Amino acid sequence: MVYVGLALGAVVVALNISGTKLSGQVQAVIVTAVVAGLLAYVVNAGFVADTARYSPFATNGSGGVVTAAAFVFVSYAGVTKVASVAEEVKDPGTNLPRAMLGSMAVMTVLYVAVVGAVIGLSDPEVLKYGGPGETASLTPMADGASALLGGAGVVFISVIAVVALTSMANAGVMSSSRFPLAMSRDDLLPPRLRTIDSRFKTPRNSVLLTGVTLLLLIAFVPVIELAKLASAFQILVFSIINVALIAFREADVPSYQPEFRSPGYPFVQIFGFLAGIALLTQMGMVPILGAAGIILGSTLVYLLYGRSRTDRTGAAGTILHDRRGEEDDGLAATEPE
């Protein structure tokens, strides 16, 4: 399976180098196929699901629900992926909020329906002890598909799973590669990462860096730990985004002129940050250490490379300057090369 993952990862990297438009078109086809397959799974499950399996709702109390939410948080990574490709989106002020809020609404309903189908179809003992060494099952959707359609159902849902993961990898490489590109433009990473391929008009070196990282993770990190780290990273990103929004609002810098403003400020953001930290504490030591390692590594990169090469003042720095009574021009504009 590792070799299959590496092969699909290589294809995804090549696809992203070949162009955003092509990658987006392939992504649209894949997502449509996956959603159609999941809807078929849910609808058919509705005819045969055992409703007695939904009671009690939480066999391990509310703590079990919180822990489960923490481990599947990576499923909502697409929200930040939408924002990361804003530079290549037409009318981002209108389309980005629609895409982010719309995807959240649609996928929340779909995810709840799929989980409901899995529980209604599967033997609870299989879900709890059907994995290696009598651990939790690693293939709950396939377990439900087996009860629904037998061997054919397992093959069907396995194909859907492979296609869905390929879609996620494609979106991940496409979006994640834009972060090194933007940081390079701000002189926080080496200038080679801002190179745009003359033929395909894509950030080739940034895509390659992201792709190599993806392939190394596939090759050397066990899939369970990888899923935990991915969820922990996504929770960390969402938590920091909430803090960043508060910093930008309070700094009131001239360059921050958003067309869409989050409702419920600042209570929604404070809740989002505190809830994210609470979820991280439910994931065990490895994901927590992984999140801490990301923070430490990012800080070191900034101190050793970026700090001496940029004179930009961030939103938090602007707030500190204001409180000290110092003059500051705010965030310096960044012009793409």
- Domains of the chain and CATH, by start: 1-220 (1.20.1740.10), 225-313 (no CATH)
Angle at which helix 61-71 crosses helix 267-280, to 10 degrees, equals 100
Give the model's confidence band at 116: pLDDT under 50 very low, under 70 low, under 90 confident, else very high: very high
pLDDT at 332 over 50: no
- What's the rounded Cα separation, in Å, for the pair 12 and 180? 18
Q: What is the pLDDT of residues 67-105, one digit of tens each?
A: 788 778 777 777 777 888 777 788 888 898 998 888 888
Of residues 223 and 13, more confidence is placed in: 13
Q: Given pLDDT bands bounded at 50, 70 and 90, which one contains residue 337?
A: very low
Q: What is the pLDDT of residue 189?
A: 94
Answer yes or no: is pLDDT of 25 > 50: yes
What pLDDT does 230 receive?
83
Q: Over 90: is that where the pLDDT of 210 sits? A: yes
Percentage of the chain beyond pLDDT 90 is: 28
One-letter amino acid of 278: A
Place of tokens 């927590």: 288
For residue 111, is pLDDT > 60?
Answer: yes
* The overall pTM is greater than 0.85: no
pLDDT in tens, 254-293: 878 888 888 899 999 999 999 999 888 888 888 888 888 9
Q: Are 210 and 180 in contact (CB under 8 A)?
A: yes
| DSSP per residue, 25-39 | HHHHHHHHHHHHHHH
pLDDT confidence band for 336 (50 / 70 / 90) = very low
317 or 243: which carries more pLDDT confidence?
Answer: 243
Cα distances (Å, whole numbers) of residue 26 to 16, 33, 88, 162: 10, 11, 16, 15
Specify whether the CB–CB gap between 144 and 122 falls below 8 A: yes
pLDDT at position 170: 85
Convert the pLDDT of each residue in 318-331 to its tens digit.
Answer: 777 777 765 544 44
